[in-house]
């Protein structure tokens, strides 16, 4: 289990209004790489940001958002060589910022994190979009009074491609969404917590599929630190503890899960709840035998 000190530091960083994602992402990476020198990677992002600023300044001053984004794309994807890891998508290294910076490859959300961090240092405000199945980015061009003049939806996983509404609908359809319901104006920017939750959720799923249960449970702890009311994460942490023979911790989480999910249930999860209840009964017997 992660130490309470680590959880406290993690939540402190997350709760600051600072949009910085690098610091907390590198803190998470230290779970896998305890000797990680985070300052080295922050400095690398700083240097990349300065270079990117030089590339985009001309177009920013001329109010040419598309050209500014294209200049940023050329720098990140052509000069620096970042690309989506399409052949080894489920490699856990794709979810760690240090590895993405070292290997120049990752999944949509980690490449988007690199993009946002470099863009922010270059003076361009790019936000994340919690698009179903494929994290995206958006640059909004506003006038002096804050009114939206135009926006660009960017796919960091595919070389910074600028997506049209048709592209977005096709992407939504690919991931099982209702393409007919797509509304560009209804897209809401992802908060820092949204981004970290999605990044960690992806990583947890990878660990569980690899049967790396200790790592999976650690990530479930961080997910609960981000959103204490996330009952599915409480359930998963309990099940992972069960796999690790940590029966007391498993019993606590699964009993809590049943207690809270019994309120106002519509019956749609009764099968799952019945299965969890069987686990709880088994765990009670095992815990009692240990006392």
Give the pLDDT confidence of 48-60 residue by residue, as tens digits. Answer: 999 999 999 877 6
Q: How far apart are CA 138 and CA 280, in angstroms?
A: 45
% of the chain with per-residue pLDDT over 90: 78
DSSP state of 190: P
Give the model confidence (pLDDT) of 100-134 as tens digits.
Answer: 999 999 999 999 999 999 999 999 999 999 999 99
CA-CA distances (angstroms) from residue 182 to 30, 46, 134, 177? Answer: 38, 36, 14, 9
The model's pTM: 0.92
Per-residue pLDDT tens over the stretch 199-225: 999 999 999 999 999 999 999 999 999
Radius of gyration of the chain (CA): 21
- Predicted pLDDT at 62: 61
CB 217 within 8 A of CB 211: no
The stretches of the chain forming alpha helices (DSSP H) are: 4-14, 22-29, 38-61, 65-73, 97-103, 108-121, 165-174, 192-209, 213-226, 231-243, 247-261, 270-290
Are 1 and 217 a contacting pair, CB within 8 Å? Answer: yes
Is 243 or 148 the better-scoring residue by pLDDT?
243
- Which pLDDT value is given to residue 127? 96
């Amino acid at each position: 289990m992660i130490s309470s000190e680590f959880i406290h530091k993690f939540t402190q960083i997350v709760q600051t209004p600072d949009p910085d994602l690098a610091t907390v992402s590198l803190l998470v990476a230290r779970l896998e790489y305890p000797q990680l020198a985070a300052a080295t990677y922050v400095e690398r992002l700083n240097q990349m940001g300065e270079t990117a600023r030089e590339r985009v300044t001309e177009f920013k001053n001329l109010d040419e958002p598309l050209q500014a984004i294209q200049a940023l794309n050329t720098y990140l994807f052509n000069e620096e060589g970042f690309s989506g890891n399409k052949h080894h998508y489920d490699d856990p290294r794709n979810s760690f910022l240090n590895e993405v910076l070292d290997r120049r490859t990752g999944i949509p959300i980690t490449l988007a994190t690199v993009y946002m961090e470099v863009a922010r240092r270059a003076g361009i405000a790019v936000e994340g979009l919690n698009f179903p199945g494929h994290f995206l980015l958006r640059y909004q061009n506003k006038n002096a009074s804050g009114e939206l003049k135009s926006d660009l939806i960017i796919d960091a996983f595919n070389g910074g491609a600028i997506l049209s509404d048709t592209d977005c609908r096709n992407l939504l359809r690919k991931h099982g969404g209702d393409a007919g319901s797509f509304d560009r104006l209804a897209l809401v920017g992802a908060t820092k917590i949204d981004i970290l939750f999605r990044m960690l959720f992806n990583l947890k799923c990878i660990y569980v599929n690899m049967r790396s249960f200790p790592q999976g449970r650690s990530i479930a702890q961080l997910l609960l630190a981000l959103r204490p009311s996330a009952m599915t994460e409480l359930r998963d942490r309990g099940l992972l503890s069960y796999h690790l023979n940590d029966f007391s911790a498993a019993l606590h989480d699964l009993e809590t899960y049943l207690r809270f999910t019994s309120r106002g249930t519509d019956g749609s999860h009764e099968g799952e709840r019945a299965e969890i209840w069987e686990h709880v009964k088994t765990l009670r017997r095992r815990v009692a035998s240990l006392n």
